[in-house]
Amino acid sequence: MSLDPQTKMLLDYLASLGTPPLETLTPELARKAFQLPQGEIEPVGKVEDRKIPGPEGEIPVRIYYPQEAQTRYPALIYYHGGGWVVGNIDSHDNICRALTNLANCVTISVDYRLAPEHKFPAAVYDCYAAVEYVSEHADEFQVDPERIAVGGDSAGGNLAAVISNLAQDKQTPAICFQLLLYPATNIWGEPTPSMLENAEGYFLTRGTMEWFLDCYSNGEEEDKGNPLLAPILYKNVSGLPPALVITAECDPLRDEGELYAKKLEDAGVKVELVRYDGTIHGFMSMASVIGLGKAALEKSGLALKEVFYPVKSSIK
C-alpha cells in the first residue's frame, strides 16, 4: 500500500514525539496522552454544554447549532471515538463543528461513561439514553423528532451501530440514518487481514485495540457473542436505517467495517461504503492536516444533508 503524503508526514511527526503506546499507560495517563490535531476552531451558530438524565446519573452533552437559523432542525447524535477508554467531547469538537455546518443540523455530542471505570454496557446505556431523551424532548433542542440520525467514529461508530439495532429492537426512538466512521464491529472475531496487515505503524495498532477491549469488556467468556458489544453478531439487521460506512485502507478496523456494510447490504439496508486509500484510522479527526479527512467529512455532511433535506420530485 502507498501512503497518502500528508498521512505519512503526520505519522512521521507522531513517531518523532516518542509518545509511549497507550496500552503501556494507565487509563488516566492515556487520556492525557490522547491528542488529535484540531486545527482552527470552525465557527458554528451556537454551542451549549448541558447535562441530560442518564441511567446512572447525568450525561454531559455538547450541542452545536448551525449558522443558518431555523425553527426546527434535524439532529445528529454523535458518539466520539477513543476505544471506549479515551476521548471526550473536546477531542472530537472539530468533527462535530464540521458536520453541523455541512449538514445544516444540530449535532449533540455525548460524553458517555468511559472504561475501565465503567465497563460494558455502561457506554451503550448512556448512548441509548441520550438519543431517547433527545427524541422525547425534541422541542428543548429545536429538533424535528422525525429527522434524528446517529453517528460516530471508531468506538463511537460501534456505539452508533449498536444503538441503531437497539432502537429497532425496542421500536423507539425513530432513527433516520446511521453514520459509521471506521467502526469497530467484529470485536471477538478471528483477526481480519487488515488487522494483521496494519497491526503496527498506522496510528491505531492491534495491541492498542486489544487493550481497549480488555478495558471495556467484562471478559471474553461473559461478553462473547453479545451483539451490544459486537454489532456484526446481530442475526437480523433488516429494516435498519440507511447507512454511510467510511473506512481507511491502512486501518486495522478496515475489514470489519466493510464486512458490516456488506451485512447491511445483504439484508436489504440501503448502505454506501466508501474506502479512503492511503490513509489511517482517525483520519477524519485530523482533517486539518490530512486532506482526505476533509473530503470524508464533506462526504459525510452531504450524505446527512440528503437524508435530512430530501429533494421532492416535481414529477406527478
Which positions are catalytic? 154, 251, 281
Q: Residue holding cell 487520556?
A: 31
Among 150, 182, 8, smallest CA distance to 75 is for: 150
CA distances from 250 to 1, 263, 296 (A): 8, 22, 15
What string of DSSP letters covers 61-103?
EEEEE-SS--SSEEEEEEE--STTTS--TTTTHHHHHHHHHHH
**Run of H or E residues at 256:** helix 254-266
- The helix/strand/coil state of 310 is coil
DSSP letter, residue 156: H
Q: Are 61 and 78 in contact, with CB atoms under 8 Å apart?
A: no
